Amino acid sequence: MTSFIIKDHVRRPKHTWNQDYCAFCRIIAGEAPSNPVYENDKVVAFLDIMPLRRGHTLVIPKVHYSRLSELPPEYAAAIGEAVSKVAHALTQALGNTALNVVCNQEYAQAVPHVHYHIIPAPTYDSTSTSSTSTLSPSPLTSPTTSSTSFLESPDTSPQLVPAQLSTSNQKTEPVSTNEHSHSHSHGPDHPMSKRQMHQMEFAGRSELEDEDALLLIKMIRARL
């Protein structure tokens, strides 16, 4: 699963680094808005504004380092403790213990400030026997760039029948096809693969809504 997350970000344009305009430093300084769920003297955690799935949270140190390998030990320890703490609260809030925890360094790193992604995993109901979704295994694009993101390799994942993704964003529209691709109806005779389910998730990414952000903040903080 981690490969899907990395490949979705790898071709996104990097920020032109300027210490006075680091997006995360601005959040830390209170110069840019965020949806914080946890904070102490060394780290802050907040909801991702373009969540891959509902509850997608970022944990960052309050000092500017672009590489995890150069982060001072006291901040590395603090961020590790915070990741564990927030991950526990998130699993309790959403009732799902499955997570992806990712930290990119240079490769696939969209913001050059150390940050961990805590992303709830989707939950698949393998007992479902029908679906109205129509998908095509065409390449996807990142929400912030028109470049093709991933899916170069053949799909070897097991086949699953599409069903409810309880931790995904609410907007999950079918993946649009290009002129060379063919749509496939999926049902009991044509189940979707995990790869195609991930396609649907990436295509359905949307900006975090204020109302849901407030609800998530309340749910997560109550379990810290």
Alpha-carbon distance 161 to 190, whole Å?
A: 8
Residues sharing a CB contact under 8 Å with residue 177, sequence separation 6 or more, in sequence order: 136, 138, 183
CB 75 within 8 A of CB 107: no
- From 56, 115, 117, 186, the catalytic residue: 115
Concerning whether 190 is annotated as a catalytic residue, the answer is: no
How many Å separate Cα 49 from the centre of its chain? 10
Alpha-carbon distance 99 to 112, whole Å?
A: 23
Residue bearing tokens 């590790």? 80
Nearest Cα to Cα of residue 157 among 199, 117, 188: 199
Dihedral sign for Cα 219, 81, 7, 128, please. Answer: negative
The residues assigned a catalytic role are 115
